[in-house]
Amino acid sequence: MQPASKLLSLTLLVLMGTELTQVLPANPEESWQVYSSAQDSEGRCVCTVVAPQQTMCSRDARTKQLRQLLEKVQNMTQSIQNLDQRTQKDLQYVQRMEVQLRGLESKFKQVEESHKQNIAKQYKAIKAKMEELRPMIPVLEEYKADAKLVMQFKEEVKNLTSVLSELQEEIGAFDYEELHNRVSNLEERLRACMQKLACGKLTGISDAITIKTSGSRYGSWMTDPLAPDGDTRVWYMDGYHNNRFVREYKSMADFMYSDNFTSHRLPHPWSGTGQVVYNGSIYFNKFQSNTIIKFDFKTATISKSGQLDYAGYNNRYHYSWGGHSDIDLMVDEGGLWAIYATNQNAGNIVISKINPLTLQVIKSYTTNHPKRSAGEAFMICGTLYVTNGYSGGTKVYYAFHTNSSTYEYIDIPLQNKYSHISMLDYNPRDRALYAWNNGHQVLYNVTLFHVIRSEEL
């Protein structure tokens, strides 16, 4: 037979200063008793539980007593949470006081270092205030230690919650086949979405990438945006007038690393640097005229020519850098465009959509931007983008949207690496800007922003 009662020591982790009271009936003959004893060396509370006589124990009584004990522990947990809230408030107060103390100490040091420049009365007052506050520092440090213990306790509870969540997920796991199907469906939707991103609003331009250094200060170079797959020929035209020879390089690599090229002689000299190669033909402005010529490289003949009515030429409405840049031909996702100015539009830029087969004007748009004030210009997705200059600090600052006939002022930096841009054109296949920068052929990658409507998904 065991002794009438036995002592069980239960160690509960609580904060320093928390006191346990008697939690069960006082008669040891009838039920359990829990008494608060002492703290151990680590600041934990050691509690003593007195069990009733075996003759008095029953399964129901133990169950009831244990339930009561559990409820008391839960109450203790609530007390800890309340203490946590109070401690957090105290910690905030401590932190504010600590900042004030540090600031006051710093000010005291400044006064002490420059005491000759301060009034003696102020010096003594600050020093006295400092002495009053110094005893509070140990108190603040104790508060910080208590807060650290509470944070450790909260971290343990958080870890336990995480374990329970993982267990719950294992019990109710997803059907992996169903999950795979959902992922596959999402991938298909994303691919369809990417296909709709062909056009967008210009939001950024990369730093200049130097491809080659050759030629004079002015010129143009380009690739054909409608060239078949595998055709990476580069077309190169040095100068802005009094020249008829176009160089053809077999590939971008040949252009970069060799001088192997085929030369094509045009029937007329070109004007400016606004030429463009499109679907196997070169479109250029005939020198000292407002005539556009389409020259077929395969047949080496003029396949079409036509006049751009009222367009200024012969340095009448050039870009700000000059160079007979009155008429600038360019291509975007929508096709062929001509940028020029007329007397009827007071020398401001006119944008005309051109039929590449007949060279007839499909539609024109008048803007309020003076042609002579533009450094260079290019088209992306039906929007004309204009730079503020051609030398020094350069940016794209004006945009005219042909889909709405509206304009806006923007601010997109354009790195002018070699200080003089005389040609700037967009290639929709490469999603890049081609530029002639003071005898250097450079590229810029562009960033386009596209808003996807829900019906497009």
Beta pairing partners, 412: 396
296, 241 in Cβ contact below 8 A?
A: no
Which pLDDT score is estimated for 257? 95
Instruction: Indicate the pLDDT class of residue 29, thresholds 50, 70 and 90.
Output: very low
Q: What whole-number distance in Å separates Cα of residue 416 and Cα of residue 146?
A: 60
Give percent above pLDDT 90 in the chain: 53
Q: Which are the contacts of 446, defined by CB distance < 8 A and separation ≥ 6?
A: 202, 204, 205, 206, 380, 426, 431, 432, 433
Q: What whole-number distance in Å separates Cα of residue 72 and Cα of residue 69?
A: 5
16 has pLDDT over 50: no
Q: What whole-number distance in Å separates Cα of residue 29 and Cα of residue 14?
A: 29
Q: What whole-number distance in Å separates Cα of residue 368 and Cα of residue 89?
A: 62
**Tens digits of per-residue pLDDT, 376-413?**
999 999 999 999 999 988 999 999 999 999 999 999 99
Concatenated DSSP letters for 233-276?
-EEEEESSSS--EEEEESSHHHHHH----EEEE-SS-B-SS--E
Q: What whole-number distance in Å separates Cα of residue 412 and Cα of residue 397?
A: 7
43 has pLDDT over 70: no
Instruction: Indicate the pLDDT class of residue 195, thresholds 50, 70 and 90.
Output: very low
**Tens digits of per-residue pLDDT, 264-303?**
999 999 999 999 999 999 999 999 999 999 999 999 999 9
Which pLDDT score is estimated for 93? 74
109 has pLDDT over 80: no
Which pLDDT score is estimated for 20? 38
Helices 59-113 & 136-171 angle (0-180, nearest 10): 130
**Tens digits of per-residue pLDDT, 412-421?**
999 999 999 9
Which pLDDT score is estimated for 368? 97
Average pLDDT value over all residues in the chain: 80
HSE-up of 291 (CA within 13 Å, CB side)? 14
Mean pLDDT of 208-218: 96
**Tens digits of per-residue pLDDT, 50-99?**
555 544 444 566 677 777 777 776 777 777 777 777 777 777 777 777 78
**Tens digits of per-residue pLDDT, 313-358?**
999 999 999 999 999 999 999 999 999 999 999 999 999 999 999 9
Instruction: Indicate the pLDDT class of residue 252, thresholds 50, 70 and 90.
Output: very high
Q: What whole-number distance in Å separates Cα of residue 277 and Cα of residue 221?
A: 9
Compute CA 388 distance to the chain's CA centroid, rounded to the nearest angstrom: 26
Instruction: Indicate the pLDDT class of residue 211, thresholds 50, 70 and 90.
Output: very high
Question: Sign of dihedral through CA atoms 184, 186, 187, 189?
Answer: positive
